[in-house]
């Protein structure tokens, strides 16, 4: 049995049952998904019979009043992002895949994504933000961090 960092769950005792049951995690950083990433994640979940987590990890500015007034619970920033997050979940659900949509807001979204990977223990992380929607440097930095620090297989639409 491998050791996990404090605060994470093992696949054996996690949300989705035994060690062979490792969900697929499709993640973006507050922008719409890349279509190729969505196709890969949904196909992988269907073919492997695993659950699909669809996560939008966004920036939460460190403004205490925003949290107090409930602005941290607002819908996605644009209707395009909302639809982009909703569509793969609905497609996978229509194909019989258990799906859970997650929205994570953090002052450090890439760190939050790494923590999410540690908690969910997915079989594969499909890192699929639409590269045309993110600044090039931000995408490259995030992809590099995910590749080097994620504790699972990582798929990028490159």
pLDDT digits (tens, 9 = 90+) for 77-121: 578 888 989 999 999 999 999 999 999 988 899 999 999 999 999
Strand order in 99-106's β-sheet? 99-106, 52-59, 24-28, 124-127, 153-155
Is the pLDDT assigned to residue 153 strictly greater than 90? yes
Question: What percent of the chain has a predicted confidence (pLDDT) above 90?
Answer: 65
The CATH number covering residue 49 comes to 3.40.50.620
Residue 19 domain-assigned?
no
Is the pLDDT assigned to residue 17 strictly greater than 60? no
Query: For tokens 């939460």, what's the residue?
Result: 60
Residue 18 domain-assigned?
no
pLDDT digits (tens, 9 = 90+) for 70-87: 665 555 557 888 898 999
Is the pLDDT assigned to residue 13 strictly greater than 80? no
Give the domain extent around 69. 24-155
143 touches 108 (CB < 8 A)? no
Residue 85 domain-assigned?
yes
Identify the H or E element spanning 106. Answer: strand 99-106
Residue 130 domain-assigned?
yes
How far is Cα 65 from Cα 67, in angstroms, rounded to an integer?
5
How far is Cα 103 from Cα 112, in angstroms, rounded to an integer?
11
Residue 108 domain-assigned?
yes
Residue 4 domain-assigned?
no
Q: How many domains does the chain have?
A: 1
Q: Give me the pLDDT at residue 102, please.
A: 93
How far is Cα 11 from Cα 29, in angstroms, rounded to an integer?
25
118 touches 3 (CB < 8 A)? no
In the predicted model, what is the mean pLDDT of residues 135-158? 94
Residue 5 domain-assigned?
no
Residue 112 domain-assigned?
yes
């Amino acid at each position: 049995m491998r050791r996990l960092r404090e605060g994470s769950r093992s696949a054996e005792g996690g949300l989705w049952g035994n060690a062979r049951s490792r969900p697929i995690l499709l993640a973006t950083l507050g922008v719409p998904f890349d279509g190729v990433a969505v196709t890969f994640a949904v196909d992988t979940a269907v073919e492997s019979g695993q659950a699909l987590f669809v996560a939008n990890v966004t920036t939460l500015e460190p403004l205490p009043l925003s949290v107090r007034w409930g602005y941290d619970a607002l819908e996605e920033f644009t209707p395009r992002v909302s639809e982009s997050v909703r569509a793969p979940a609905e497609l996978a659900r229509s194909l019989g895949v258990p799906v859970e949509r997650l929205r994570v807001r953090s002052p450090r979204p890439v760190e939050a994504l790494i923590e999410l990977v540690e908690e969910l223990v997915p079989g594969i992380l499909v890192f699929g933000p639409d590269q045309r929607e993110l600044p090039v440097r931000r995408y490259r930095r995030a992809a590099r961090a995910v590749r080097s620090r994620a504790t699972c297989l990582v798929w990028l639409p490159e």
